[in-house]
Amino acid sequence: MVARHDQTTDPELLAALLQARRGTAFFARKLNELTDAELDGDTLLPGWTRRHITAHIGYNARAIARLVEWAATGVETPMYASTDVRDHEINFGATLSPIALRHLFDHSAVHLNVEWRDLPEDAWHHKVRTIQGREVPASETVWMRSREVWMHAVDLDNGARFADIPAPVLERLLKDITGAWKTRRTDTGLVVKVTGQDQELTFGDTTAESPTVVSGPLPSVVEWAAGRGNGGVTAAGPAADAAQGAVPAAPKWI
């Protein structure tokens, strides 16, 4: 049988697809390292067990596949009917048996991959709508998935670290997070600096006269910005002084 390949030939899109598929494989590896009993364990997300994260990743693949189908057919197929429906789905999925939960992840990942693979070249620019109501080209679904699998592999809390996430994914995550802060105006007086790279990255309120500056290596800065910890970062400025040198909590991201 002749192997089937992605219909797109866009090199940037192909690279993004590869990154998302590698993230899916990474999540699968961390999930498969867990015993069935360990699925009941806590995660880095308050209130969510590993069951919740696995269910979320499974249903997320199905939701994104619906957007890709929308782009392919022109028939509107929303990610979810509502955020309440999404939350109910995750909570229900968390009650599945271990084998059903693992099958949900496996089968939904394969389904999404096939939808991406078979999407015609000219359909990748077709507009779809996210659960937040943003209209984006179908190509954005690749980043939407990549972000979920890489981040939540760490959230499973069984050995994955932000340092395991590829630098291009980390950089885009940081842009997304700081962009959300800027939109909400919660970054006032806050500057984020990534150190230890050929080109230093700076985000936040760079016009502030006396900012609080949080700095550190890229994985550590993203971990802090995403609200997962502050190891490896330092802070200086008004907020740090008020906390007697402690690193302040990052503004809310999602």
Please identify, among 141, 160, 179, the residue that sits at the C-terminal boundary of a domain: 160
Q: What domain range includes position 206? A: 167-242
In a domain, 252, yes or no: no
Which pLDDT does position 218 carry in this prediction? 96
The pLDDT-based confidence of 111 (bands split at 50, 70, 90) is: very high
The pLDDT of residue 124: 98
198 belongs to a structural domain: yes
* Same domain? 153 vs 171: no
171 and 146 inside one domain: no
Last-in-domain residue among 160, 181, 198: 160
pLDDT one-digit tens code per residue, 122-143: 999 999 999 888 999 999 999 9
pLDDT score for 241:
61
Q: CA dihedral in degrees (248, 250, 251, 254; nearest 10)?
A: -150
User: Nearest-CA neighbor of 253 among 45, 94, 26, 54?
Assistant: 45
pTM for the model: 0.93
Is the domain of 156 the same as that of 202? no
Note whether 120 and 126 are within 8 A (CB): no
Query: Is the pLDDT assigned to residue 239 strictly greater than 80?
Result: no
CB neighbour list of residue 202: distance below 8 Å, 6 or more residues apart: 191, 192, 193, 194
Looking at the fold, whether 146 and 44 belong to one and the same domain comes out as: yes
Confidence of residue 2 (pLDDT cuts 50, 70, 90): very low
| Distance from C-alpha of 151 to C-alpha of 165, rounded to nearest angstrom | 8
- Asked if residue 2 is part of any domain, the answer here is no
Same domain, 174 and 231: yes
